[in-house]
Amino acid sequence: MARTLYDKLWDAHVVSQFDDGGALIYIDRQLLHEVSSPQAFAALRENGHALRRVDAHLAVADHAVPTLGRATDIADPQARAQVALLAANCAEFGIRNITLDDQRQGIVHVIGPEQGFTLPGITLVCGDSHTATHGAFGALAFGIGTSEIACVLATQTLRQTRAKTLRITLDGTPGAGITSKDMILSIIGSIGAAGAAGYAIEFAGPAVRAMSMEARMTLSNMTIEAGARIGLIAPDDTTFAYLKGRPLAPAGAAWDAAKTWWRRLPSDEDAVFDREITVDTAEIAPQVSWGTSPDQVMPVTGTIPQPASESEAKAIAYMGLEPGSALAGLPIDHVFIGSCTNGRIEDLRAAAGLIGGGSVAAGVRALVVPGSGLVKRQAEAEGLHKIFLRAGFEWRDAGCSLCVAMNDDRLPAGARCASTSNRNFEGRQGIGARTHLMSPVMAAAAALTGRITDVRGLL
């Protein structure tokens, strides 16, 4: 029987099947960070469990870490304690931990692929909802809770329910200034925040095949914002070129054998999906969120809608907007370029390319936070940091930063931010702060003009 990529990944990892339709599946690898792992390690000790496989885990602190002042101790006592506890837990159980003074340190969903820890065909989990990012490599990757983290540490297995399958085919050629961030925001806006709940999404089509791995990771990263825990892209030569030579990727004969197997993973030509959606990328305009959920999004040329529900009315009020007003031209006072969605080298190149010799508009505070120390080093080798600094941006160390208000980078109440992150929930970037999601080039355009701007007019 013809099978989808999801079917192949699932079938290869089933340990045992249960009568209720659930299954015990084997977990090949787990990423750990400082926020969701402490209780899991505590559970290991309390239950007298040993670590099942020491080589199957990789840890890094990212959510709570500062992006300034790394040379001294972390000022915030809670963040300092979280980072120290992660280091202590990893030392006790022998788990690899990328520390803050390591040039490889960064956001968990950036460092996994960089190190070759993320590979096609594996199951990969992390205590973070944006673990779907790793599905861009053809890995069955999804976020889990603290008790599940403990279960993987002790057994390398999880009880899961098989998902339905949804293929989203991206046809056409996107216009100038249109990125994979615009594509996924447009999809989320179309199907809704729960539109893919219960499904494993596979992104396919010529527009996906034309994407770099960085762009594909952005696409998979925001799958969760449409309700799906899994966002897959079949591995191909672009995937292999990215992974070859990575520190933890196979090498030599093992690489050749792995690649032979990986080529069998794509969905069979006659595989049947439970649901199909086709998108013409040529029709997508730059996207900007207007509300407090990623599905409250529209083309930059749009106007704030008349509320169709109480939640929409609440979102419009929180964002300080008026129905019928134009989205383009709305003043902003903060810009954030970074996160596990758009903090990779390609994102920084795109933003710097648009900025050129320009300057940040008066009254705007703008931050660039690389997704990892390796991204930062590469950007500095290319001179990108000089472009940002000359323009008036702050150039930071790696971390989650303004994507989530769990560290020193927070916005004040009422601040309006053009952000390349993945969520615009109330208080996501600080209590009372207002977040507009967009692509790196759109955020760069907002920084230069001091307002939400259609980047196509600046290209």
pLDDT tens track of the chain, all 459 residues? 999 999 999 999 999 999 998 999 999 999 999 999 999 999 999 999 999 999 999 999 999 999 998 767 788 899 999 999 999 999 999 999 999 999 999 999 999 999 999 999 999 999 999 999 999 999 999 999 999 999 999 999 999 999 999 999 999 999 999 999 999 999 999 999 999 999 999 999 999 999 999 999 999 999 999 999 999 999 999 999 999 999 999 999 999 999 999 999 999 999 999 999 999 999 999 999 999 999 999 999 999 999 999 999 999 999 999 999 999 999 999 999 999 999 999 999 999 999 999 999 999 999 999 999 999 999 999 999 999 999 999 999 999 999 999 999 999 999 999 999 999 999 999 999 999 999 999 999 999 999 999 999 999
Residue 431: CB atoms within 10 A of its CB come to 12
CB 105 within 8 A of CB 98: yes
Say what the pLDDT of residue 21 is: 85
Pairing label, strands 57-60, 164-171: unpaired
Task: Report how far residue 392's alpha carbon sits from residue 229's, in angstroms, rounded to the nearest whole number.
Answer: 38
DSSP label of 247: T
Say what the pLDDT of residue 71 is: 66
Task: Report how far residue 315's alpha carbon sits from residue 322's, in angstroms, rounded to the nearest whole number.
Answer: 11
Buried (b) or exposed (e) across 391-405, using 16+ Cβ within 10 A? bbbbbbbbbbbbbbb
Residue 419 neighbours by CB under 8 Å, 6+ apart: 335, 336, 339, 402, 403, 429, 435, 436, 437, 438, 443
Task: Report how far residue 64's alpha carbon sits from residue 5's, in angstroms, rounded to the nearest whole number.
Answer: 35
For 208, the token pair is 């996906």
For 27, the token pair is 């977990």
Residue 110 neighbours by CB under 8 Å, 6+ apart: 340, 343, 344, 371, 372, 375, 398
Count how many Cα atoms sit within 13 Å of the Cα of residue 198 in the half-sphere of its side chain: 4
Residue 228: CB atoms within 10 A of its CB come to 27
Say what the pLDDT of residue 70 is: 77
Task: Report how far residue 122's alpha carbon sits from residue 99's, in angstroms, rounded to the nearest whole number.
Answer: 25
Task: Report how far residue 455's alpha carbon sits from residue 176's, in angstroms, rounded to the nearest whole number.
Answer: 9
Q: What's the length of the chain?
A: 459
Q: What residue segments make up the domains of the chain, in order of their start?
A: 5-276, 287-457
Residue 345 neighbours by CB under 8 Å, 6+ apart: 214, 375, 378, 379
Amino acid occupying residue 449: T
Check if 5-276 and 287-457 are the same fold: yes
Q: Which CATH superfamily is domain 5-276 in?
A: Aconitase, domain 3 (3.30.499.10)
Say what the pLDDT of residue 336 is: 98
For 349, the token pair is 């190149």
Full-prediction pTM beyond 0.75? yes
CB 227 within 8 A of CB 196: yes
Bridge partners, 162 (sequence order):
none
Task: Report how far residue 285's alpha carbon sits from residue 300's, in angstroms, rounded to the nearest whole number.
Answer: 7
Q: What is the CA radius of gyration of the chain?
A: 21
Residue 281: CB atoms within 10 A of its CB come to 21
Alpha-carbon distance values, 67 to 61, 315, 386, 407 (Å): 12, 30, 18, 9
Which 3 state secondary structure label does DSSP give 160? Answer: strand
Q: For Cα atoms 432, 433, 439, give the angle at the middle one, nearest 5 degrees.
A: 155
Q: Which CATH class is domain 287-457?
A: alpha beta
Which 3 state secondary structure label does DSSP give 276? Answer: strand
